[in-house]
Structure 1
Amino acid sequence: MTAPGTVLPVRRGAALAGLGSAVAVAVVLSLAVGAQDLAPAAVWRAVVDPIPGAEATAIVRDLRLPRTILGLLAGLALGAAGALMQGHTRNPLADPGLLGISAGASFAVVIGIQVGASGLTGYIWFAFAGALLASVLVFGIASGRRGGPTPVTLALAGMAISALLSAFTQSLLLSDDASLNVYRFWVVGSLAGRDAGVAAQVAPFIAAGLILALVNAPALNALGLGEDVARALGQRVFAARVVGVAAIVLLTGAATAACGPIGFLGLVVPHAARALTGPDHRWLVPASALAGATVLLLADVAGRVVVRPAELQTGIVLAVVGAPFFIALVRRRRGAVRL
């Protein structure tokens, strides 16, 4: 008979195992489903024993495998970043873009287009640099008071910088039609058209961000009780904030740079994960990462199917599905959105 004290960890472990299985299913669907559906056996053969020149090999290895790997990485990143952002701000409506990351990346991409950067491999470094600079600026402004940044100052500084950078971005785009035409394909948020080089470029940053997120998770449990209580428990609040913001910047900056701004994922996924694991961030952060990867890959698959043989961008699918899902989640599971 299981001891009462072990029931909750067992359930949380089962939830993580279930989410891991869901990720595996989403990966298979991402490789098999598209404008031309492939049998699982053909997908397996194309991955482990490719036949040069075969149609299935070209479809899987050249088109779908890089896209699937990038979707897996970006989903892990945005899911974990969403859990961290809501934990640090103690705001259930917060998402990773609240630190100005999306606005900074967008502004830098426009600058990159205007100075002659071409292709995703050119834009990605501009986008990542813009995300980093915007986040550092937000954190610096929010820290300009005794005691360091607080959830309120982080949110206010993030909104102010986002509004400022968005205004700069729009003014640049309105004065340059060529930049607007290129920018609009990046800003919609998509996994399509990304080759293996893009995933390889962002993978180290996402890996570092995930490590920092897991390290930061225990501190969020103390911070959730309030900063004064956290200090009384021996928690170094400022250090925890720095580690958390660094993780959010690495995760969201890399994902945004590679895929464009993808909304709703970092906002909705942590609530669903919290319903499975509870509020303990040691379990919530990895659960949110796995749920984020599953949702992003499934949204990408749905985008290939609903208007086949054309495609609907992943960012649009998530917006269409995410808005009503979030409304229903807030109305029906009020206990799951309290931090």
Structure 2
Amino acid sequence: MRFSTVVVGVSLQALQAAALPVVSDSPFTSTAAALASSTPTPVYDWSKGYVSDFVIHPSCNSTERHEITSGLKQAVAIAQHAKEHILIHRNESKLFQKYFGQGPTAPVIGWLDKIATGNRDGVIFRCDDPDKNCATQKGYAGHHRGSNATSETVICPLSYTTRRPLEALCARGFDMATGRPNDYWAADLIHRLYHVPLVGEDEVGHYADGYPELLELAKGVNHTDAARNSQSLSYFALEAYAYDISVPGEGCAGKLVEEEHDHDHDTGSATTSSAAAAATTVNPTRVIPGTTTAAAPEATATDANAGKECHTHADGTEHCE
């Protein structure tokens, strides 16, 4: 029994000693602990490389930087809302059907999401005029630099005097049918972003331009092209925001001018009305200088792009609207 007691006593002492912290002056003990704490196992970051902000070039002054940044936020806002509009209403949305017909929703959602949440790394907006288009091309409000710099977009001075904020959507007499959606920073910058290959991937392009053509594209046999038509995407985003947010449940769709004469069966009256309309109205996708009717032919003859806003595509093609 005495042997057993000794053994138990030794065992208890050993356990007590083991429970106490080990205090040592050895440098190896502390070094081992430091190495263990300073070299954690690397953690894989799947989102590494994502940049949430567009790059504003140093050539932009503080005012230009503020306007472009604000405009980009508005572009993101309407793209995000348009995406959510489709996710909620699916292809049953009358607005979706208006611009994309019976096409699938997924491609449209995807292209809108590229604007709303896509990586903005390398997408650059600048305010100088490295290609001299702002200075030499009448009516240029901005342009994609194309092969000169595929990730860069130049914003010309004309933009700062013609663009409207999203808060003014459906105000000042604007409607989608007869107005110019690109007068709004939000729609204009969506259009310009799709020209950048990092965003539009050389897939989004111009398959139809102007309100009447967009509606025809959606109803035609090539309606699936509308999902990658830059103006279909930007017009839809702007009108969805107008209908859901700016003027809830009403929006500001407007009405095409030619629709006013659909039920006019008096040939003489229709001819007179059409002539009057031609003299007093303009193509909704054009800006015509405020000149007299007599002076208009001279302006057209001297400059085919007078009163229009133009930009250059990546392939060098000029697009005026």
What TM-score comes out, normalization by structure 2 length? 0.24
Higher relative contact order (CA 8 A, sep 6+): 1
Larger radius of gyration: 2
Higher-helix-fraction structure = 1
What TM-score comes out, normalization by structure 1 length? 0.23
Higher-strand-fraction structure = 2
